């Protein structure tokens, strides 16, 4: 083959390869866009009718806007037909504000009716925070739970801006006003201020665990260095009550309600008919066929994390 033919062949090969990368990049962008803006919203279920147990699922990264869940919990709390609450948790945590609001709503419910939490793969950080008001927590031996702690990430891009010749001048009313701005240099005083915020949020978290789990604050602080515990470790530390699955949690709740062997419905607190665009099986299958199931799960998680503002309580992968 002469040199001109070889050059032509290489050029065509490179063009095809570049085209494939462009198509893949476009698909990735469109998928990210769908994930970011194509979210459905849970809808409260009609709680009228015969007595039943309400079941709510807390899955994935917890956002700070949890108003639909808290509103539904308040409605269920005041409904005479709802006799108990089953909370199914499978989450690494998320926003401190979202975790706190769910904690308070579940605490209010638990002050009137029995609540049990069952944990799947994870029930850590903010997901553990919302679980502690329950009268009973069930986890699998391999569940990752605990991870009691708070993190506030504050990037500092001012050195990079300086290297490219960009100077950002902040005109502030006080020395701390620009210390949350990533384009401003983080001063020692600013770092101390942000550390104070984290410390206060952490103190609140410790207080919630201490109250909900009936443990001394000293005991909780000794466990609260941010590490996660397996379910088998957590039960010996008093962070959970029982090793088991959802069936074990339902059995505990039935005993509290003195149901015995009678038929007793468990109804979803929120409708599952409103979903993400990509959660429908045939659509999800197409996306997983292009990117793989693992990539889709990571994308879901990273986009959810990136949407959080402020401090988070989350078990980082």
- pLDDT tens for 145-166 read 999 999 988 777 778 777 777 7
Query: Hey, is 129 helix, strand or coil?
Result: helix
**Residues in contact with 141: Cβ distance below 8 Å, sequence separation at least 6, in sequence order:** 230, 231, 232, 243
What pLDDT is recorded for position 15?
A: 61
What pLDDT is recorded for position 285?
A: 57
Cα–Cα distances in angstroms (integers) from residue 142 to residues 74, 128, 243, in the given order: 32, 15, 10
Dihedral sign computed on CA atoms, order 173, 174, 175, 180: negative
Q: Could you report the average pLDDT of every consecutive run of 10 residues in the chain (317 residues)?
A: 56 62 59 49 56 96 94 96 97 95 98 98 97 98 97 80 76 84 85 93 97 98 96 98 98 94 91 52 55 55 53 70
Write the DSSP string, 167-196. Answer: -PPP--SSTTTTTT-TTS---HHHHHHHHH
**Residues in contact with 90: Cβ distance below 8 Å, sequence separation at least 6, in sequence order:** 57, 58, 59, 60, 119, 120, 121, 122, 123
Query: Could you tell me the two tokens for 278?
Result: 């990509």
Residue 184 appears among annotated catalytic residues: no
What pLDDT is recorded for position 40?
A: 46
- For residues 152 and 120, the answer to whether their CB atoms sit within 8 Å is no
Query: Could you tell me the two tokens for 60?
Result: 């994935």
Side-chain-side CA neighbours of 158 within 13 Å: the count stands at 16
What pLDDT is recorded for position 278?
A: 47
Residue 125 appears among annotated catalytic residues: yes
Tell if the pTM clears 0.85, that is, is over it.
no
Annotated catalytic residue, options 177, 191, 255, 298: 177
**Residues in contact with 67: Cβ distance below 8 Å, sequence separation at least 6, in sequence order:** 101
What pLDDT is recorded for position 239?
A: 98
- Domains belonging to the chain, first-starting first, are 43-153+202-314 (3.90.226.10)
Annotated catalytic residue, options 91, 113, 125, 210: 125
């Amino acid at each position: 083959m002469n040199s001109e033919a070889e050059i032509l062949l290489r050029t065509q090969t490179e063009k095809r390869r570049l085209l494939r990368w462009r198509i893949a990049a476009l698909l990735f962008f469109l998928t990210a866009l769908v994930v970011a803006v194509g979210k459905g919203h849970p809808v409260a279920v009609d709680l009228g009718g015969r007595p039943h147990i309400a079941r709510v699922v807390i899955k994935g990264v917890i956002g700070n806007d949890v108003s639909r869940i808290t509103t539904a919990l308040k409605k269920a709390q005041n409904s005479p037909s709802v006799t108990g609450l089953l909370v199914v948790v499978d989450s690494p945590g998320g926003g401190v504000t979202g975790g706190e609001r769910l904690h308070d709503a579940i605490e209010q419910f638990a002050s009137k009716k029995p609540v049990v939490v069952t944990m799947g793969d994870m029930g850590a950080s903010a997901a553990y925070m919302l679980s502690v008001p329950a009268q009973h927590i069930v986890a699998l031996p391999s569940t990752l739970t605990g991870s009691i702690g708070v993190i506030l990430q504050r990037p500092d891009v001012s050195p990079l801006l300086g290297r490219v010749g960009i100077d950002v001048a902040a005109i502030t009313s006080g020395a701390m006003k620009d210390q949350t701005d990533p384009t401003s240099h983080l001063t020692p005083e600013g770092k101390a201020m942000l550390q104070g915020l984290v410390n206060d949020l952490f103190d609140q978290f410790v207080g919630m665990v201490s109250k909900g789990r009936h443990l001394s604050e000293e005991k909780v602080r000794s466990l609260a260095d941010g590490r996660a515990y397996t379910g088998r470790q957590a039960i010996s530390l008093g962070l959970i009550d029982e090793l088991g699955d959802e069936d074990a949690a339902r059995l505990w709740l039935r005993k509290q309600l003195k149901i015995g062997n009678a038929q007793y419905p468990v109804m979803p607190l929120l409708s599952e008919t409103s979903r993400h665009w990509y959660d429908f099986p045939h659509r999800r299958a197409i996306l997983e066929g292009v990117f793989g199931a693992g990539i889709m799960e990571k994308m879901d998680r990273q986009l959810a994390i990136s949407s959080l503002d402020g401090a988070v309580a989350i078990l980082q992968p």
